[in-house]
Structure formats: C-alpha cells, structure tokens
Copies of this chain bind each other. A is one copy, B any other.
C-alpha cells in the first residue's frame, strides 16, 4: 500500500534525525567542551524543527487516514496496527496544538530551568511560582486541545504513559500507600540492621569502573553495542539500533553508588538493546513507555542488584577489587544495600519510601489540574503531606516542593511513571520466577541469562506492539497492581 510505504520512509527519515539528535545530546552531557553549548542548542533546535516540519505536513495526515481505513478493512497484522496506531497518536499530538500555544510553551519552559534553579538555590518558592503558574495555565490549554474522557490531567499523563488513567492510578496508590506507611513504621521501630558506615572505605574510580564493567557484562549488557561514561546526572541514551550509551557517577567513598547507577542504566540499556533492530525505524520497534522502561531499570537495580543471590556471587568478586570488603558477611552486605528511612528527597529515597514521594507529587498535580489547588499553596500542602507520611518537618522548599526539575520544564504527569516502573518491576520479576524457578539459583551463580531471556521475549522484543497495560497483562497475567511489589518489599525488609 502506497501510503503505508510513504509513512515507513518518513519514519525512517525521522528516526535518523532523532538518533542524530540523541547523539548530540549524549555528547553534550559527556564529552562536549564548555563553550560548545550555545551552538549545540542551535543544532538540536534545527534538527527537531526539521523533524517537526516533515511530520506535520497535511499529506502525512492523509496517509495515516488511508492506512487506518486499510488496516480496519483488511485486518492488518499486529505490527502494522501498532505502527498506524502510533502514527495517529504522534500526528494528532503534533498537529492539534495551535502554533502560538506551542511557541509560548517553548518560550516559557525554556526559561524554566534557570528560574527553578534560582528558586531552589535561594529556597524561595515565590521566585518560581509565577513561572509555574504560566506553565500550568499553558498545560491546561494543551490538555483541552489533546482532549480526554475523565479529567484534563489524563491527557498529560497520556503523553508519558499511553493508556494510563488518573482514576486507575488512584486505586492502585490507595492500596499501596497505607501498606508502605505501615511497612516504613515497622522498619523504623525495628531499628537498623547494620551500621550506617559499614561499607565506608576508599574506592578508586578505575577499580569501580572495572568492577562495574564486569558486572554489566555479566548481566548481559553488550559492550560491542554500547558503552559507559561519566555524567553529572546519569542517564541512558540509545543513539542507534546497536549503540546504547550508559552513564554513571562516582562516589570515592561508596562503590555502590556507581554500581547501582550502572545496574539501573544497564536495565534501560538492555531494554534498548533487546528491541527489534530490524524495526528500529518504525513505531513498533520503539520502547513503549516510560513506565515500562523504568520497570527494566528498577528490575536490574533493585530486584537483581539488591538481592541476596546477587551478592552471593558478587561480594567475593567485589572483595577482589576492594580488599577491605573481604571481612563482610553476606547478610551484612545485603542489609547495607537495603536500608530504609524517611527522607526529604525523592532521588535519594529507598524502595519502601520512594513511591510515597511519587504519590505526593501525583496528588499535587491532580489537585492543580482539577483546580482544587492554587500554585501558591503547593508548599503548604507539600509540607503537610510530608508530615503525615514520614513525620518529617520540611526545613525549606529546596528540600521540599522545589527539589525536582520536572515541573520547571512543564512536565506534568511524568512522576507516576516512576511508580509504575517500580510496580511493573516487581510484577515482572515475580512472573519470570514463576515461569523459570531456576532464576534465583542462576543469579547466585553469576548467571542472569534466564531472567534476561524472559524479559527479552515478554517485554523487549514486542517493542511497541502492545500498549503498556496490555504488555504487562500478557507478560504477567494481570494488570499492574501493588500486590507483587508489596510482597517483594515485605520479603526484603522484614524477611
């Protein structure tokens, strides 16, 4: 079919441009000299402008409409249906906003990072509030353009996690929240299982790098199709079908910081490396959502990397690189990397408290977009909730509602995908272990191949064939819920 072919060609072109931008972005964060920044911004704006112009042409809309008719009348195969489904979604999202709204949003959000950084630096929400109000207002206008069934917030959520609905998330979180609070209390009453400075020592960067590389290779990250570099804010970036780049950062007093960074990013990276390379240029060959991506990073970071079976194999290896670890017991090592305590800052939170931080943000975002909460009142609500959940008195907004960058760029609806990642990770791990009972034993022997193979078949290779909800249901037999995650946490922290 002519129109389908044209869309495939256009997809290939846009993918080439997108991957080129990804490399420019990776280079900026890892390699670029300081004074390259202004020109790099120009390059990236040029490329994304080119992509946008190619995509929003009226004839592209006509091609998509023709494909939709064809697919409906002839029962296209799953991949064709997914391609057409995503072309439609991307096209509508790109064309439905009036030009002046797009321009205004870009202008305001471009100023966001600096305004937010200043506000956080001075811990003064009033500096950020006018900016945030504008972004909320523009995002509300966007939401009306995108359209929604239940609430405006859903249409923003949809931009990060296809098919997610605030109403369903609310149900899942309603189950999760009291259990997490209760679990946190129980852990806190029991008291710490190991001393806080148990792992303290000198960890030279070169040794950390060598150890991390050995671990990443062993769990299945392919260094012929990827690499690891250093970045201030670690990330994973796929810059081509066989070119996946991880980053981490190093703490010279704590080797687990870079290690868990690498495990987390390698989880993202192995998802990328497992996507169908022959369909890299098509929507169906892409990762389906942030919530699925985060499930893979959390799985390798937490379910593998913080497990007893992992350290059974890797503690002696680690002691080979860092001799003072040789005296550590396996129990102590596992306890040392599984500590939980209330904290102010999301990115430093442990597995038990992390999702409570997300729920707080989710509630605030919903209340803002339903009109129940004014931007000016965010700090008060934030601090109140922190007291309820953690019995913590937020000392200043820098450690409170100003801690995250997301809102400064107008990213509302992003936070819930972190929790979806955590829940999906637990549910997928449980399902994989049901299907292959030998997984734990293998990991204890340094072999993660069965787990990776299962993830490859169930999650990586399907690419975007199924929306996240269906993908998880097909892989685990049920939709995303809190059950497996709670079981995992109880087992790990109280078992």
A165 on the interface (CB 8 Å rule)? no
Give 5 nearest A-B pairs by CB, closest first.
A36-B243, A35-B242, A39-B240, A35-B225, A16-B46
Interface 0/1 of A32-65, CB less than 8 Å to B: 1111101110110011000000000000000000
Q: Which residues of B contact A31 (CB under 8 A)?
A: 31, 227
Neighbour of A242 across the interface among B33, B239, B242, B243, CB < 8 A: B33
Number of interface residues of A (CB under 8 A): 32
**In the complex, what residue of chain B is closest to A226 when comparing beta carbons?**
B33
In the assembled complex, the Cα of A475 lies from the Cα of B227 at a distance in Å of 47
Residues of B within 8 A of A43 (CB): 16, 19-20, 240
In the bound assembly, the distance between CA atoms of A224 and B243 in angstroms comes to 28
**Min CB–CB distance A471 → chain B (angstroms):** 26
* Cα–Cα distance between A222 and B43 once the two chains are bound (Å): 22
Q: Across the interface, which residues of B come within 8 angstroms of A280, CB to CB?
A: 39
Q: Does A148 contact B (CB under 8 A)?
A: no
Find chain B residues with CB under 8 A from A47 CB. Answer: 20
Contact assessment for B34 and A224 in the assembled complex, using a CB-CB cutoff below 8 Å: yes
Q: Copies of this chain, how many?
A: 2
**A23 close to B (CB within 8 Å):** yes
Given A13-B46, A27-B27, A46-B13 in contact, is the A243-B19 Cβ separation under 8 Å? no
Q: Which residue of B lies closest to A40 (CB)?
A: B240
Summarize A's interface: helix, strand, loop or mixed.
Answer: helix
Q: Decide if B16 touches A42 in the complex (CB within 8 Å).
A: yes
Chain B neighbourhood of A225, CB < 8 A: 33-36
Q: How far apart sit A16 and B241, CA to CA, in the bound complex (Å)? A: 24
Check if B20 sits within 8 Å of A24, measured CB to CB: yes
Complex-state Cα separation, A222 to B36, whole angstroms:
12
Q: Which of A271-285 contact B (CB under 8 A)?
A: 280
Closest to A223 in B: B33
Q: How far is the CA of A165 from the CA of B455 in the complex (A)?
A: 64
Q: Which of B24, B34, B46, B240 touches A23 (beta carbons < 8 Å)?
A: B24
- C-alpha gap A32/B27 in the complex (Å): 11
* Beyond A13-B46, A34-B224, A40-B243, 18 additional pairs, beta carbon < 8 A: A16-B46, A19-B39, A20-B20, A20-B47, A32-B243, A33-B223, A33-B224, A33-B225, A33-B226, A34-B225, A35-B224, A35-B225, A35-B243, A36-B240, A38-B242, A39-B240, A39-B242, A39-B280
Q: Chain B residues near A24 (CB, 8 Å)?
A: 20, 23
Complex alpha-carbon distance, A34 and B242, angstroms: 9
B-chain residues with CB within 8 Å of residue A241 when the two chains form the complex? 39
Nearest-CB residue, chain B, relative to A35: B242
| Set of chain B residues within 8 Å of A224, measured between Cβ atoms | 33-35
> What 1/0 mask marks residues of chain A from 368 to 404 whose CB sits below 8 Å from any chain B CB?
0000000000000000000000000000000000000
The smallest C-beta distance from A42 to any residue of chain B, in angstroms, reads 7
CA distance A224 to B33 in the complex (A): 5
Tell me the minimal C-beta distance from A24 to chain B in angstroms. 7
